[in-house]
Structure formats: C-alpha cells, structure tokens
Chain A
Amino acid sequence: MSEFLQQLINGLSLGAIYALLALGYTMVYGVLRFINFAHADVFMVGSFAGYYAARHAPAGTLWGGLAVLAAAMAACAVLGVLIERFAYRPLRHAPKLNVLIAAIGLSLLLEYGVQLLFGATPRNFPQVFPSARLQFGPLTVSSNQLVVIVVSLGLLGGLQWIVFRTRLGAAMRAVSLNPRAAQLVGINLNTVVAFTFALGSALAGAGGVLYAMNYPSIDPFMGVMPGLKAFVAAILGGIGSLPGAALGALILGGAETLVGGSAYSTYKDAIAFGLLIVIMLLRPAGLLGRLTVEKV
C-alpha cells in the first residue's frame, strides 16, 4: 500500500510537469486551431535559460529558486512571442498544414540552434531550490517533488485566474469561440494571440526549470520526449480544454509511474500510449473535450 502511495506521489510530480507543458499545446490549439510542435523546444530553452540564470542567483535558496524560475519564464515568454510574430503570423491565413510544417521546422531549428550554441554534451543543472528529503511515515518526498507540485498548482491557479477573471482572458476565450466574431466586437486578434503564446511559453519555461531540477542533466534534445507526452496528455484530456490538459497530464504521469514500477517496466511507454488509444476509441473528443462541428 505504501509503495502504491509512493508511486502516486512520483506520478503526481511527473504529471504536474507534463501539465505545465500540455497547457501550452492546448491554449495555442484553442486560439489558433493548430499544434505548436516547437513548444517542447521552448521547454528545453527554458531549462537552458534557468541554467544560465542560476549562475547569478544564490544556489539552494527559496528566493534564488523563484528568481531562476521567473527568469526562465520571462525568457520563454519573449521567445514564444517572437516565434509567433515571425514564424506563425505570416502564415495565419495559409492552410493549416503549412503552419504545422513551419512548427516542425522551428522545432528542429531550436534543437540544432541550441546544439550549435551550447554543444550537445549534457549539462549538469544546479540545485536552485533548497534540497531536503522529507519523511511522512513510510513515504519519502524530496523537496524537489514538493516544489514541482506547489509551483505547478500555483501556476495553474494563476492561469485559471487570467483566463476567467481578466479582460485579456475573456478576449482569449472569445477568440477561441469564434475569431471573426471576436474581431467584430473590437478584439485585437494579434494582441490576443501574442499573449496566448507568451502565457503558454512561460508555463513551458517553468516546466523546463522544474524538470531540469528533478532530472538534473539538460541537453538540446531533452524536450522531445516530455513534449510528446504532454501533447498526448493534451489530446487525452480533450484538446482546447484547460482542465482537460491538466487532468490528462496527471493521468499520463500516474499511468507511466505505476507501470514503470511494476514487473512490466519494459512496456512503460507502450502502455501509457496504449491507454491513450483506448480512451480515444471510447471518447474521441478526449476526457473533457467537446466534439464540435468544423465550420466551413
């Protein structure tokens, strides 16, 4: 029983990181109806930004850690806005497939660009937050896991507040519902899209730092696998739905950890992705998604 609970804690901290990434996929899809495949690499850039920011912050302190987190989020937000402005905006009225190809190209550009600048050798990510091992009866929780869960919950709460309580959030929801009608009532589409990218990329940046903190070896291709899993989580929860993305990520993280700790650890990824296929068969729109008719 205690082993099961321990696995749940592990799954929760893994799922929380997937959730931060999955939200970016789902938000961009909600507003622009396409999958931003470069998102996973923004996550990678986030951990590199955190790596360099950590050199100027006191190591192993709460405030130092939060400062590194904020720096990585800011760097990624800027990167996200630039990506949108120079890669996706010129293609906004082009067929969706063109944007998708641009996204894949951009993803490779970021991966190999970072490799060119910083090399392919994995780097050791410093301990930015205070480190400790906490014992709750038979359960062991590392302070890093705790930081991941707390920070993710905080960011999810913040996102919920922005989307449902602010004017820009209302504009985002309006664009998501119907971009043309939103423009008719005076919403500036470019501002909303840029804001969405900034928000999603900042979350990815935070995810990058949290991921690197738990698995302290970073390289230019570190985003590929978590990116794929977060994308799956977003689909699983119902793409376009914010709570769906978070739920999907937690389910995926949990499934992965439970299978990983069983006798079938060889099939960890196969079972996690198999689960996706089953859910897609039973609920094609995802867990919390709604099937909509594509307007022509």
Chain B
Amino acid sequence: MHLPALFTRLLAPLAALALLAGCGPKNPAPNATIKVGNYAAITGKDGTFGDSSTKATRLAVDEINAAGGVLGKQIELVVEDTQSKPGEAATVVKKLITRDQVVALIGEVTSSRSLEGAGVAQAFKIPMLSPSATNPAVTATGDYIFRACFIDPFQGKVLASFAHERLKARRAALLTSISSAYSTGLGDVFRAKFPASGGEIVSDQKFAEGDKDFKAQLTAIKAANPDVLFVPAYYTEAALIAKQARELGITAPLIGGDGWEAPELVQIAGSAIEGCYYSTHYSAESPDPKVQAFVKKYRDRYDGRTPDGMAALGYDAAYILAEAIRRAGSTEPAKIREALAATKSFDGITGRIDMDADRNASKPAAILTIKAGTFTYLETVAP
C-alpha cells in the first residue's frame, strides 16, 4: 500500500476526529456562566466527607443562583470525585482547569489530597479554597491557596488542653498515621503541647493509611497504661481502632480531630466509641439561628440528613468564594485571589471567618462527644 493511501485510510478519520473535537462544545457560549470546580472524595474510604461537603456546596450555589447569581451571571459548579485515592486529586484538578476552564476551585476535603491539588492550582494560578484541609502545609503551597477552616496547630492545642484540663489526663498515648499529612501534623502538635502543660506521652505508635489491623500497636499502648488515647485519624481507621482497643480491654477514652466526623464512625465502631471526644468545626445543635436555618435547609433537601462539620464548611466555602468574586468585580483568577485574601469578618455557619496573612481562616472549634450513638455538643473553644 502506498503511503498516501495509508494516510487516507488510517490517519484521515483520526484527523477528522481531532477536528470534530476541536470544534466540539468546548466554549459553547463564553462567559454565560461562572465555572467553579469542586473536587472532593465522594466515594472510597473518606467518602462521606466529600459527600457531605459537595452536597452543601451545591446547596449554597443553588441559593446564590436563585438570588440572582454573582456579577449578573449564574455559577456553574463542576464536580469531580477523587475516590479517596492518592494521585487522583492532581489529575482531576488538571482536568478542571484545562478542560472545564474553571475560574476557581473548591476542594479537597482532606489535607493530603488538597496538597496534591494545591500544587497544580498554584502552577496554573487558579485560586483554590479548601473547605476542610486543616494541615498548615496546604496553604503554604503558594499565594493562590486558601482554606475555610481552622488549622491543626490550633486544633491540636485545643485537644491537648481538653485532655489535660477537662479529662484530667496525665498519661497520653498517640496512634498516628504515617501516610496522612493530616494525622502526622495533628500528632506533632499534640506531641509538643501535651507535655508542655505537664502531661506525659507514654506511648507513640504509628500506622499506615489503609491498615486494618491495629492490635499490635494497641497492645503496646495498653502495656503503657495511658489515661487517654489520641487518635488523629479519619473515621474509617478511628472506628476500627476504637473497636480493637475495646476488644483488647483498653478502657481509656479516645480523642480525635475533625476527621472523625461521619456517621460511619458510630456504625462501624458501635458501642466501642461511646464516651470518646473529638473536635470539629461546628455543632448542628448550636442555637444560632443562622446555623439552625442551614440545618433545616440541608435536611429539607437531603432527606432529613443532619449536616456535619464537612457540610457546614462546604457551605461556607461556596459563600466565601461567591462573595470574593462579587468583591473582585471580575472572574479573572488573579482578581478573585486578591478578593479572597481580603476576606474579613465573614459571618459563616462555622463562625466568624477572617483570612489571615497565611491565607488561613481563624475561627473557633467545637468539642463533641459520642453519647448513646449520637454526636453530642460539649463546648466551644475560641481561637
């Protein structure tokens, strides 16, 4: 076969396809809507985080659009699932920026995957607002990365003093994940703060994300006889750890961070998690009318489910971003970035939010306990 013939038979259809793709619906009507990317783990190990978060973000965006949108345009939310997998965040962020051409990003829900996405967003200079990544390194990635939640140094300090003052614990054991930025970060803060207030770390054990057997570490912890067990893990691991701790006869309470907040924690751990404590971003039981209005709207829309901290942050993140776009008066990523950095006294569901010089939100934390299988509000700690 001659080369030209080969070209027409093999390459021509390909070329035609490429042409078709080129004039496909890439930019159907430019600037008709404001495209915002929303990426989170909606399925997989940390699935409920992304599920709650994206549902609330969707709720907020629909409210904003119903009220006339921003700058006279509707916000179009493009949602991507990172499946709780390492590596997936960078891929979907690249896709959102290059193919969907979003002007800003809301995501990811966890710290490790936010770090992944942040690198890409910073490189493309697209502002990214993580609703719930608490590790300080996330916003340290660059000047385009923001967050709507408090950071781990604050959360860790709150938990360390809660263990010391309220639980009267003097001997603490740590069980942290070595492969999650969230867990190691929170562990480091606790390790520094708890001894500073006069306590003692009697056992310091590690595990890796995806582990299911914690009996070895817990047996060593039991031998050290701690008053409290600090487990800054996500809910799947925290539930398995609680269950195995009780099976081994450890009776000390477990405490953890906002990564615990999911109904699965109680479903998997059952009675093992009873009487344990964790810090989070808000409580649905707060009497604040703003919070109650949000809880009602969320319940009405999503068959009576009570919004958790991730939902509250997802909701706040959407409003913070919309307000920033409004103040920027433009959908140019650089202008949105400036407006985000200038966010001051934003009155959200999760408290008053001020964006500080490091692009972190400074705001209060709530401590909850598990009583009769439900999350019960205990106290609020101001920054």
Contacts and interface: CB of A to CB of B under 8 A. Distances in A.
Given A257-B215, A260-B217, A121 B43 contact: yes
Nearest to A115: B43
B206 interface: yes
Nearest to A215: B212
Contacts of A124: 264, 267-268
A185 interface: no
B236 interface: yes
Contacts of A266: 178, 206
Contacts of B240: 215-217
Contacts of B178: 266
B29 interface: no
Contacts of B163: none
Interface string B191-228: 00000000000001111101011011101101100000
A143 to B, nearest CB: 9
A122 interface: yes
Given A133-B249, A215-B212, A217-B236, A120 B43 contact: yes
Contact of B84 (A14, A120, A135): A120
B216 A260 contact: yes
A256 interface: yes
Contact of B268 (A144, A211, A217, A258): A217
B206 to A, nearest CB: 4
A261 interface: yes
B59 interface: no
Contacts of B304: none
B247 interface: yes
Interface stretch (A3-11, A67-75, A103-111, A191-199): A3-11
Contacts of A217: 212, 236, 239-240, 268
A7 B219 CA distance: 7
Interface string B252-268: 00000000000010011
Interface residues of A, number: 36
Contacts, number: 94
B43 A258 contact: no
Contacts of B248: 6, 140, 142
Nearest to B178: A266
Interface string A2-36: 01001100110010000000000000000000000
Contact of A225 (B204, B210, B239, B249): B210
Given A120-B83, A265-B205, A256 B43 contact: no
Contacts of A3: 219-220, 222-223
B364 interface: no
B297 interface: no
B216 A261 contact: yes
B47 interface: yes
Q: Which 8 A/B pairs are nearest by Cβ-Cβ distance? A: A260-B216, A215-B212, A120-B43, A261-B220, A261-B216, A142-B247, A257-B216, A10-B215
Interface of B: 43-45, 47-48, 83-84, 178, 204-208, 210, 212-213, 215-217, 219-220, 222-223, 236, 239-240, 243, 246-249, 264, 267-268
Interface of A: 3, 6-7, 10-11, 14, 119-122, 124, 133, 135, 140, 142, 144, 211, 214-217, 219, 222, 225, 256-263, 265-266, 268-269
Given A6-B219, A122-B236, 12 more contacts: A10-B213, A10-B215, A14-B215, A120-B47, A122-B47, A124-B267, A216-B243, A217-B268, A219-B44, A219-B45, A260-B216, A269-B208
